[in-house]
């Protein structure tokens, strides 16, 4: 867990970062993740945290530790941002991370957050107003995505509300072959732009959590 204040730092994500996933063993891959990716996640957090936090709630960054892995190397790795110092899976949060072939940015409500009723209340009209192209998913352990559009949004919200293991993710992915990787500074600016657009939606989700907890 990292609590961050604003600083003028610029992590530079590059295509070379995907090389960490070429390591076939747990020990070798974890060594590359710790040496190459985690420091960049820590730098990214110094910028992303101020973009997400408000006067009513601080934001904490959690870099994945993969402590439960004892044999197989992790297929992905990430930093997550939530309002809790203790964790993030049980709360709405933002994730920035890598698979072996893509960088992902997700605003996520995972299955662990299902204990909070009406978690997605009020977010549909906010998401419909997002500018540009966005993707959605309903399982953070799967690479499958769909393009955001009104029917898909309604379907994903209904699925999250009615199916026990369904999740709700909205954001973007940047495939390793995407031309944007030729301009790492441009990629970082694009990530910040999308974080800024997602911040009000995360704030609404945080308010929904607070309203539920106040009634308990």
Question: Is the pLDDT confidence value at 148 over 90?
Answer: yes
φ, ψ of residue 210 to 5 degrees: the values are: -65, -40
Local confidence band at 10 (pLDDT 50, 70, 90 cut-offs): low
Question: Which one, of 75, 70, 69, lies nearest residue 21 by Cα?
Answer: 75
DSSP annotation of 34: I
Local confidence band at 5 (pLDDT 50, 70, 90 cut-offs): very low
Sheet holding 93-98, edge to edge: 2-3, 60-63, 77-82, 93-98, 102-109, 168-175, 135-137, 146-147
CATH of domain 15-214: 3.30.930.20
Dump pLDDT digits (tens) for 36-67: 999 999 999 999 999 999 988 999 999 999 97
* Residue carrying the six token digits 């309002």: 83
Dump pLDDT digits (tens) for 81-131: 999 999 999 999 999 999 999 999 999 999 998 788 899 999 999 999 999
Per-residue burial over 117-144, b = 16 or more CB atoms within 10 Å of its CB, e = otherwise: eebbeebeeebeebeeebbbbbebeeee
Determine the 3-state secondary structure of 38 from DSSP.
Answer: helix
Dump pLDDT digits (tens) for 162-205: 998 999 999 999 999 999 999 999 999 999 999 999 999 999 99
Domain residue ranges of the chain, discontinuous segments joined by +? 15-214
Query: Do residues 60 and 85 make contact, with C-beta atoms less than 8 angstroms apart?
Result: yes
Determine the 3-state secondary structure of 212 from DSSP.
Answer: helix
Rounded to 10 deg, the angle between the 184-215 and 38-52 helix axes is 60
């Amino acid at each position: 867990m990292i609590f961050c204040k604003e600083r003028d730092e610029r992590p530079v994500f590059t295509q070379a970062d995907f090389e960490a996933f070429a390591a076939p063993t747990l020990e070798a891959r974890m060594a590359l993740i710790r040496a190459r990716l985690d420091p960049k996640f820590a730098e990214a957090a110094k910028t992303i945290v101020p973009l997400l936090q408000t006067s009513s709630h601080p934001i904490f960054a959690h870099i994945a530790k993969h402590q439960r892995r004892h044999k197989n190397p992790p297929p992905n790795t990430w930093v997550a941002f939530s309002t809790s110092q203790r964790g993030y899976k049980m709360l709405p949060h933002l994730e920035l991370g890598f698979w072996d072939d893509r960088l992902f940015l997700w605003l996520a409500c995972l299955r662990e957050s299902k204990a909070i009723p009406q978690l997605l209340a009020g977010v549909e009209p906010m998401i419909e107003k997002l500018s540009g192209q966005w993707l959605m998913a309903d399982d953070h352990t799967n690479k499958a995505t769909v393009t955001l559009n009104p029917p898909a949004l309604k379907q994903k919200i209904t699925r999250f509300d009615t199916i026990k293991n369904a999740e709700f993710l909205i954001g973007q992915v940047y495939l390793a072959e995407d031309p944007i990787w030729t301009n790492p500074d441009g990629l970082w600016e694009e990530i910040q732009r999308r974080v800024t657009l997602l911040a009000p939606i995360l704030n609404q989700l945080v308010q929904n959590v607070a309203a539920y907890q106040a009634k308990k």
